[in-house]
Amino acid sequence: MNGIIIREIQQKDNQAIAQIVRDVLMEMGAPKVGTAYADPNLDLLFETYQNSKSIYFIVENNNKIIGGAGIAQLENESENICELQKMYFLPEARGLGLGTQLMDKCLESATAFGFQKCYLETMPYMEAAQKLYQKVGFEYLNEPLGNTGHTSCPVWMIKLLNSKNNAN
């Protein structure tokens, strides 16, 4: 896997990354309703992340998309809170440290955009993801923030952002 690059999403990536998100959710046994599976913007991620203060990264191995994640303003929340969105990897990409690399890029972007906090939602059985989130400084919340539409995701986490404490 020495042909790995992390780059910004392109329009041609829409179908592949949407399929990865759906495949991983099905692999994990997640419900379709109330998760990213049913997100109305999932098939248009390139277009969705063209707004200011938002970005989506693709992880690619030898021209094959193997994962991705993005940062955007948390809907219906204060302007200083962003959301880590749609962070999913194919099985072949897991356990290689790519999650940490992608998380670093996302949190660097969030800080550059001026966000002070980063929020995320996940599923209880996505334990490896939660370990990564905790490793980079996310802490559990007792209730959700904003309005993500992901009503089936009962694990909520937040991280304070600053230039000295992005992902270490």
* CA 1 – CA 101 distance, rounded (Å): 14
- Domain ranges for the chain, please list them: 4-160
The 10s digit of each residue's pLDDT in 82-134 is 999 999 999 999 999 999 999 999 999 999 999 999 999 998 888 889 999 99
The C-alpha atoms of residue 145 and residue 60 are separated, in whole angstroms, by 31
d(CA 16, CA 3): 18
Helix-helix angle 98-112:127-135, to 10 degrees: 50
Nearest to 47 by CA among 65, 64, 70, 24: 70
Dist CA 76 CA 60 (whole Å) = 32
Span 49-93, pLDDT tens digits: 998 899 999 999 999 999 999 999 998 887 899 999 999 999 999
In terms of pLDDT, which residue wins out, 38 or 90? 90
For residue 69, the 8-state DSSP code is E
Architecture of domain 4-160: 3-Layer(aba) Sandwich (3.40)
The Cα-based distances of 35 to 22, 28, 55, 104 in angstroms read 10, 12, 20, 24
Work out whether strand 81-89 and strand 117-122 pair parallel, antiparallel, or are unpaired.
parallel
- pTM value is 0.90
Q: How far apart are CA 35 and CA 148, in angstroms?
A: 9
- Strand residues in the chain grouped as ranges (E): 4-8, 55-61, 64-73, 81-89, 117-122, 139-140, 155-160
